[in-house]
Amino acid sequence: ETGVTQTPRHLVMGMTNKKSLKCEQHLGHNAMYWYKQSAKKPLELMFVYNFKEQTENNSVPSRFSPECPNSSHLFLHLHTLQPEDSALYLCASSQDLGGGSYEQYFGPGTRLTVT
Amino acid sequence: GQNIDQPTEMTATEGAIVQINCTYQTSGFNGLFWYQQHAGEAPTFLSYNVLDGLEEKGRFSSFLSRSKGYSYLLLKELQMKDSASYLCAVMDSNYQLIWGAGTKLIIKP
């Protein structure tokens, strides 16, 4: 257990569906992240939040919409996805941004399949 | 562009030593991280280097040479449970982590 939980662990959705991924951290951290992990590819940073404010959006398509209602919760809303969006979506948190020694703690991920 | 290179896969024998290399080219440098990821699980933090030299932590050690853009993770007395992917990541000048694709380590008895 890393102190970061994600639900659901597995999700299958059609291209016309709308679904949401949820992440919760119990570590008192101020920064939270969404990553996409595809097979044999580097982790892709999607969004970064610090103190509930979005600080990074790495050219992510608008069919992915993040929400951070407080420092402990992070959502990723999904709509009209494409099959190439099938991947493992990882949430992470860290004490703060900046200060290079702040390691990130990852949740177990949501395995998303778009049919 | 920014780039992190590490071998795709390595195989080693239980009880032996293995060295996983990582080379990087990034815009700025604020430290290098190694993470371990077992299949189907979350990545977990192993080590952090920001100064040149060797950091030792039990059976695992991590080395950094900033002038060469090079790091390695050294695993000693390998155990079957060490079979996993090992991810190298560099924090750039914007304090964002740039990740390598990971090295899958297979341990054979």
Q: Convert the pLDDT of each residue in A10-47 to its tens digit.
A: 999 998 889 999 999 999 999 999 999 998 899 999 99
Task: Pick A98's closest partner by Cβ from B50, B95, B97.
Answer: B95
Comparing CA positions, the residue from A75, A112, A70 lying closest to residue A91 is A75
Average per-residue pLDDT for chain B: 95
pLDDT tens per residue across span B52-109: 999 999 999 999 999 999 999 999 999 999 999 999 999 988 888 899 999 999 999 9
What confidence score (pLDDT) does residue A100 get?
Answer: 61
pLDDT tens per residue across span A74-113: 999 999 999 999 999 999 999 987 666 688 999 999 999 9
Decide if A100 and B97 are in contact by the 8 Å CB cutoff: no
CA atoms of A17 and B11, how far apart (whole Å): 42
Decide if B97 and A4 are in contact by the 8 Å CB cutoff: no
What confidence score (pLDDT) does residue A50 get?
Answer: 87
- Which B-chain residues 8-37 have CB contacts (< 8 A) with chain A? 8, 30-31, 33
CB A34 within 8 A of CB A66: yes
